[in-house]
Amino acid sequence: MSFSSQNFSPEIVKALSECGYEKLTPVQQKAIPLARKGHDILANAQTGTGKTAAFALPIIQQLLDKTKDNNHFQTRALVLAPTRELAAQIAQSIEDYIKYTSLSVAAIYGGVKMSSQVQKLKNGVDILVATPGRLIEHLDEKSVSLQNLEFLVFDEADRMLDMGFISSIETIMSGVSTKPQTMLFSATFSPQMNKLAAEMLNQPKRVSVTQENVTADTVAHVVYPVDQERKNEMLSELIGRKNWKQVLVFVNYKETANMLLKELKLDGIKAVLCHGDKAQSARRRALDEFKEGKARVMIATDVAARGLDIKGLPHVVNFDMPFLAEDYVHRIGRTGRAGQKGHAVSFVSREEELTLQQVESLIGHTIRRVEQAGYEPKNRDALLQKMHSKPAFKNRKTRTNNPSDASQGSAERSARLRNIVRNKATGAKK
Ligand code: AMP
């Protein structure tokens, strides 16, 4: 299905063709006709599926179709997003779509000065993309008004709830007196999400893009079993040997990101950081360097990298397995976008085997394992056996369950292993 057959204004069609869009993606095929008829939408779709255009294009077309009210300074469409990066990216996409129209868009999010945003808002903005916290600050300052809101989008709504934005959303909604056409996009659904959807949406039409559409066809998943303390070394080796040119590496902690940056530098690999301690401007610079190929690796945490769109990104590495299996899907959603090939690599230590099982059951297939010569994990089988049986020792204080760990002098790892076994034992007694 092509964009030219969708009856969009010529200004929009021209802009889309400059973006390189020819055919609608599955979520666009399903959501655009319904949204253009004015229905509320409840969509189950991940980042990488083309969901931004799925909600933005019907809004843009309807804004062009309807004549503007007298008050030029009120926001007509609001898109709420969980993170700064995602908000900036959505605004950039919308900017691309509206470039031949008289409409305007602005992104407001924390980490940059309020004053520069106030100036933009004063000039009047048709489409506002915002993170909830910063929007509330602007509502308090009265630099923005939602009195005449016609369209409302919750993007990555699951992540907004995970980040505790529910009360911010309620505060924002208390300032909306109109009944805007509302669209909610989420990768996962929970009872809390269903409650939010029930409160916000009016007889919504449901749109769903299955996970197979998102990943299976275009992304090759691979697991490398490896001991935690050898992951640094293996990453450098794989990047070098396989000549990976652009690699987004996910870690669970900022500290790991900082450590890994130093290690890669020692191996002569230029990397940049994208995590919550970095100022907004530093993150943007890092992303630009990575996109332009000045840095070969970007090391990111989940929240900071949420929704990042890096065209044609070939490799994503889970240096740490994510805490939540759903985050695996979000992370690898950065590669294999818009039908291109992607490569999702996970480094899995013995402690992360359980998470891997959860990921495999979520995505519905087992992931190919590759043992990298020289990095085979020690005593993996013994550990797996122990995890699935009662502890074989009585005096936990004086024994570790894995003598080879003790001989390596890694007290921390032994303690972690003891915890796993202890939890297992407690569970077994219940
Ligand atoms: P999104 O899920 O909105 O983050 O979009 C993922 C990527 O797909 C972005 O780089 C979009 O620019 C791109 N994209 C969205 N729709 C299309 C389309 N119909 N054809 C080609 N690329 C698209």
**What pLDDT score does 277 carry?**
74
**What pLDDT score does 389 carry?**
53
**What pLDDT score does 9 carry?**
96
Domain-located, residue 402: no
Helix (H) or strand (E) holding 197: helix 191-200
**Alpha-carbon distance 286 to 297, whole Å?**
10
Q: pLDDT grade, residue 385 (50/70/90)?
A: low
**Alpha-carbon distance 365 to 161, whole Å?**
28
* Among 1-15, 47-61, 289-303, 331-345, the least confident range: 331-345
Contacts 24+ apart (CB under 8 A), 288-293: 290/246, 290/248, 293/245, 293/246
**What pLDDT score does 20 carry?**
86
Q: What is the mean pLDDT of the chain?
A: 83
d(CA 48, ligand 1 centre) in Å: 6
Residue type, 108: I
- Encode pLDDT of 193-247 as tens digits: 999 999 999 999 999 885 443 454 678 899 999 999 999 999 999 999 899 999 9
Domain-located, residue 361: yes
Let me know whether 154 and 230 are in one domain: no
**What pLDDT score does 5 carry?**
85
**Across 231-349, where does the E strand assignment appear?**
247-250, 271-274, 297-300, 315-318, 342-348
Q: Does the C-beta of 6 come closer than 6 Å to ligand 1?
A: no
d(CA 326, ligand 1 centre) in Å: 21
d(CA 105, ligand 1 centre) in Å: 19
Q: Which residues contact 400 (CB under 8 A, 6 or more apart)?
A: 406, 414, 417, 418
d(CA 245, ligand 1 centre) in Å: 22
Q: Which residues contact 199 (CB under 8 A, 6 or more apart)?
A: none
Let me know whether 93 and 224 are in one domain: no
Domain-located, residue 241: yes
Q: Which residues contact 195 (CB under 8 A, 6 or more apart)?
A: none
Tokens of 20: 């390189």
Let me know whether 189 and 241 are in one domain: no
**What pLDDT score does 172 carry?**
96
Q: How far is CA 1 from CA 48, 304, 344, 427, in A?
A: 19, 34, 29, 53
Q: Single out the residue of 44, 35, 116 nearest to residue 77, CA to CA.
A: 35
CATH code of 12's domain? 3.40.50.300
Residue type, 266: L
Domain-located, residue 404: no
Cβ–Cβ < 8 Å for 347, 234: yes
- Encode pLDDT of 250-261 as tens digits: 999 889 999 999
Let me know whether 105 and 224 are in one domain: no
Let me know whether 276 and 345 are in one domain: yes
Q: pLDDT grade, residue 100 (50/70/90)?
A: very high
Let me know whether 139 and 194 are in one domain: yes
Strands 77-80 and 219-225: unpaired
The total of other beta-carbon atoms located within 10 Å of residue 394's CB is 7
Residue 91 has pLDDT above 90, yes or no: yes
Number of domains in the chain: 2
Closest ligand 1 atom, residue 93 Cα: 12
* Average pLDDT, integer, range 372-382: 77
Tokens of 191: 């009872």
Tokens of 197: 């959807």
Q: pLDDT grade, residue 162 (50/70/90)?
A: confident
Domain-located, residue 403: no
Q: pLDDT grade, residue 1 (50/70/90)?
A: confident
Let me know whether 369 and 268 are in one domain: yes
Domain-located, residue 333: yes
**Alpha-carbon distance 119 to 123, whole Å?**
7
Domain-located, residue 271: yes
Let me know whether 135 and 197 are in one domain: yes
User: pLDDT > 90: what percent of the chain?
Assistant: 54
Residue 415 has pLDDT above 50, yes or no: no
User: Which range scores top for mean pLDDT: 55-59, 400-404, 407-411?
Assistant: 55-59
Note down the domain range covering 311: 219-394
Domain-located, residue 401: no
**What pLDDT score does 361 carry?**
82
Let me know whether 205 and 250 are in one domain: no
| Residue identifier of the C-alpha nearest atom 13 of ligand 1 | 50
Q: Does the C-beta of 156 come closer than 6 Å to ligand 1?
A: no
Let me know whether 90 and 41 are in one domain: yes
Let me know whether 304 and 379 are in one domain: yes
User: pLDDT > 70: what percent of the chain?
Assistant: 83
Q: Does the C-beta of 185 come closer than 6 Å to ligand 1?
A: no
Let me know whether 23 and 60 are in one domain: yes
